[in-house]
Amino acid sequence: MATKSHTPLIVGNWKMNPATLGKARKLFLDVRKEVGRKKMETQVAVAPPFPFLSELQRLSPSQRIGLSAQDVYFESIGAHTGEVSLPMLRSVGVSSVIVGHSERRAAGESDEEIYKDVQAIFKSSLTAIVCVGEQVRDQHGNYFSVVEAQLRSAVRDVPKTKLKQLVVAYEPVWAIGTGDHATPEDVQEMKLFIQKIIADVFDRSAIKKVRVLYGGSVKAKNAQELLTVGTVDGFLIGGASLKAKEFGKIVHTAEAYAKTSV
């Protein structure tokens, strides 16, 4: 039987989808229906594009489905055209923020900018979902050093008292949107490696406070094995989160795992 150490967290990253507010409203309502009304151990959140956040907050007054932001700018206010701040996000019900997603890194976001974002998020008492992951896997294991450098840079100076606000999402870039995914065994190996880094940066007790998610072509058909063999604490889901039924199946798979694990 699998052993879980954390309440599962399932986050749907809608990226730049759907095209209109009306379609976003429909998707959210469909997701809400698929997730259902029963009380669950599993935490569920979606990260829609910024313009849709306010409307989705209105559709989820109980916050049964939480709202996450896809990015943030570390300054609170000022002459920063096109940026969105934490006070703005908090005002529309956001409780967590995705930081350092591979697509943002590819667009030029630096480790230093990610570090500043993480610091700002913790000061605002929101949850930071810090993304790490390699572009490619090599037979010599050099990708471990890539993940380590990204993680150490992002979480340096994080107070131990804030660790429950930290979530690490492992998302190998080669698996995002490709249909390929890391094997459950590879995912477990990386989770243990991430926990080793967390223990080294903080201490061993920190492992029990920080959830480790997996992202990269997660689907209903591979979710259970990624949870039971990969032993991750949930998922950061891209494409499958745009299909309400598929996303709902993943959520319920995680919930079944949460109830049967000890």
- Which are the catalytic amino acids? 101, 171
Report residue 258 as tokens: 């949460």
Copy the structure tokens of residue 90.
Answer: 């908090």
Separation CA 230–CA 235 (nearest Å)? 11
**Alpha-carbon span 38 to 63, nearest angstrom:** 14
Helix/strand/coil for 203: coil
State the virtual CA torsion across 57, 61, 63, 64 in degrees, nearest 10. Answer: -120
What does the alpha-carbon distance between residue 147 and residue 213 come to, in Å, rounded to a whole number?
14
Tokens 């459950």: give the residue. 184
List, as one string, the DSSP characters of 30-71. HHHHHH-SS--SSEEEEE--GGGHHHHHHH-TT-SEEEEES-
**Among 109, 57, 65, which Cα is nearest to 88's?**
57
In the chain the first and final C-alpha atoms are separated, in Å, by 8
